[in-house]
Amino acid sequence: KDGRVLKEDILAHLQRISVDPSVKIPSSMTGRTVELKGYTKHMWKTMTKSLTIPHFVYSDECNVDQVMRYRNDVKDSLMKRDISLTFMPFFIKAASRALEQYPQLNAWLDEKTQQLQLLDNHNIGIAMDTPNGLIVPNIKNVQNLSIFAIAQELNRLQKDGSKASISYADVSYTTFTLSNIGTIGGTFMKPIIVSPQVIIGAFGKARKLPRFDNEGNVIPVNIMSISWSADHRVIDGVTVARFSNLWKYYVENPMHLLICP
Ligand code: CAO
């Protein structure tokens, strides 16, 4: 009454403006209702949980000329054996090699006990676009697999994904996730961490772009962006930057990935 805004005034205002929580198409409009089901319902749950995680995002670009060269050298002969070799097996193996140096990124965060469980198994999840929506199956124990074996496993998961027959075992116990939106387009993406994991990486589409060589000449280079989102409650930015540099080193020098399992 003396002009001051009291708590009661704010509560009364909120009461007045609050909308009906049920969302119905009014009679003055037309449209249709789609039930959320399956993978989408699961995505709702996991992404709502992800909202509670403070995301630290770090991005860089990566030269994929060498990976392209190696892939082009062998992809046709592998195709004759029914194996499709893309860039992904190289990126997945590079992540596993880099995780050997940064085990705190291949981990699960137990929020209740406030403990980080560092895992020896590199079960690398791959965000996959399927006719039924997004699903993230994983390739288990990548630390023991060759690029060839990773490609075989990825092919199997893609086949199962297209038939909506990915098993529960294939989506269980993911320790680290990668998402390649570059198969569809786009240059940059901010990926969302899937709890209890503590980091996720995303790639954009590789494009031929002008860059300077060591002598200052402009040369064409195939460039791909990489973005990492990490849980900033437990992972600091410098760790992510160092990990990313190492991942990038392996991708730009893929011979290191080929001479080990
Ligand atoms: N830049 C340019 N080209 C790329 C690329 C990139 N980043 N990634 C893949 N490609 C190329 C591949 O080399 C392949 O080329 P060819 O036609 O010459 O063989 C082609 O795109 C198709 O690749 P692919 O889809 O068969 O296989 P992949 O191993 O590269 O990717 C997978 C597998 C599962 C990551 C992909 O199929 C997919 O589902 N991507 C979408 C992921 C997604 O939904 N992310 C968003 C998550 S948040 O909602």
Read off the pLDDT of residues 163-183 as tens digits, 9 standing for 90 and up: 999 999 999 999 999 999 999
Residue 100 falls within a domain, yes or no?
Answer: yes
Evaluate whether residue 207 is within a structural domain.
yes
Distance between CA atoms of residues 72 and 218, nearest Å? 24
What value does the mean pLDDT of the chain take?
A: 94
CA dihedral (86, 92, 95, 100) in degrees, to 10, reads: -130
Instruction: Tell me what the mean pLDDT of segment 71-100 comes to.
Output: 97
Nearest-CA residue for atom 19 of ligand 1: 86
Q: Is the ipTM of this complex over 0.95?
A: yes
Give yes or no for residue 8 having a pLDDT over 80. yes
The residue segments making up the domain with residue 242 are: 56-258
pLDDT at 141 over 60: yes
CA–CA separation, 239 and 28 (whole Å): 55
Determine whether 232 is an active site residue. Answer: yes
For residues 136-165, average pLDDT: 97
Residue 18 confidence (pLDDT): 63
Alpha carbon of 40 to those of 24, 68, 71: distances in Å? 20, 34, 34
Q: Can you give the pLDDT at residue 261?
A: 66
CA of 254 to the centre of ligand 1 (A): 19
Bridge partners, residue 124, by sequence: 139, 176
The question of whether 236 is a catalytic residue gets the answer yes
Cα separation, 214 vs 8, whole angstroms: 68
Q: How many domains does the chain have?
A: 1
Residue 41: inside a domain: no
- Using CB distances shorter than 6 Å, the residues near ligand 1 are 86-88, 126-129, 134, 154, 158, 179-183, 203, 205-206, 224
Residue 16 scores a pLDDT above 80: no
Quote the pLDDT of residue 106: 98
For residue 99, give the CATH number of its domain.
Answer: 3.30.559.10
**How many other CB atoms sit within 10 Å of the CB of residue 31?**
7
3-state helix, strand, coil in the chain (%, to 5): 40, 25, 40
User: In the prediction, which pLDDT does 23 show?
Assistant: 81
In a domain, 149, yes or no: yes
197-246 pLDDT, tens digit each: 999 999 999 999 999 999 999 999 999 999 999 999 999 999 999 999 99
Beta bridge partners of 200: 177, 229
Inside any domain, residue 32: no
Residue 2 counted as domain residue: no
Angle at 132 between CA 52 and CA 224, to 5 degrees: 65
pLDDT at 53: 97
Is residue 60 domain-resident? yes
Cα-based torsion angle of the residue sequence 43, 160, 145, 190 in order, rounded to the nearest 10 degrees? -30
**113 lies in some domain:** yes
Contact 75, 165 (CB under 8 A): no
